[in-house]
């Protein structure tokens, strides 16, 4: 069974940092591109960042470019998101999602990041 479990969210002050993790199981993690997608309270889905299976290709939303860094450890089947210089508008539930079929076929349960 495919599972994606995010952790690392919490309350942080503006300007602070957090590191999110997404532990994957039930599939060959190193064979898939992975993404972070966020959802602000009561709002829609917003792409944050993507990383290819080998980490050779990385993309960021303009809203987080220069502040967030995506990475992965295929040996440990874990995806990361280092978030620096956090802003109030970064408050959201952050989901990790597996990229497949030109979309996202599995999502984690999400981890809440509150910047206040």
Partner 1 sequence: QSVLTQPPSVSAAPGQKVTISCSGSSSNIGNNYISWYQQLPGTAPKLLIYENNKRPSGIPDRFSGSKSGTSATLGITGLQTGDEADYYCGTWDNSLSAVFGGGTKLTVL
Least distance from partner 1 to the Cβ atom of residue 28, Å: 18
Instruction: Give the residue among 67, 73, 68, 81 at the shortest CA–CA distance from 53.
Output: 73
Exposure letters 68-105 (e unless 16+ CB within 10 A, then b): bbbebebeebbbbbebeebeeebbbbbbbbbbeeeebe
Least distance from partner 1 to the Cβ atom of residue 76, Å: 22
Enumerate binding residues for partner 1 (CB under 8 A): 35, 37, 44-47, 50, 57, 59-61, 95, 97, 100-110
Q: Which is nearer to partner 1, 89 or 105 (CB)?
A: 105
Q: Which is nearer to partner 1, 30 or 110 (CB)?
A: 110
């Amino acid at each position: 069974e495919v599972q994606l479990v995010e952790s690392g969210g919490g309350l942080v002050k503006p300007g602070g940092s957090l590191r999110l993790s997404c532990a994957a199981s039930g599939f060959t993690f190193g064979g898939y591109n992975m993404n972070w997608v966020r959802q602000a309270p009561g709002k829609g889905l917003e792409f944050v960042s993507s990383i290819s299976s080998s980490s050779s290709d990385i993309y960021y939303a303009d809203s987080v470019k220069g502040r967030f860094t995506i990475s992965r450890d295929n040996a440990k089947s874990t995806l990361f998101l280092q978030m620096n210089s956090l802003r109030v508008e970064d408050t959201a539930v952050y989901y990790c999602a597996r990229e497949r079929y030109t979309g996202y076929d599995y999502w984690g349960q999400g981890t809440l990041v509150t910047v206040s």
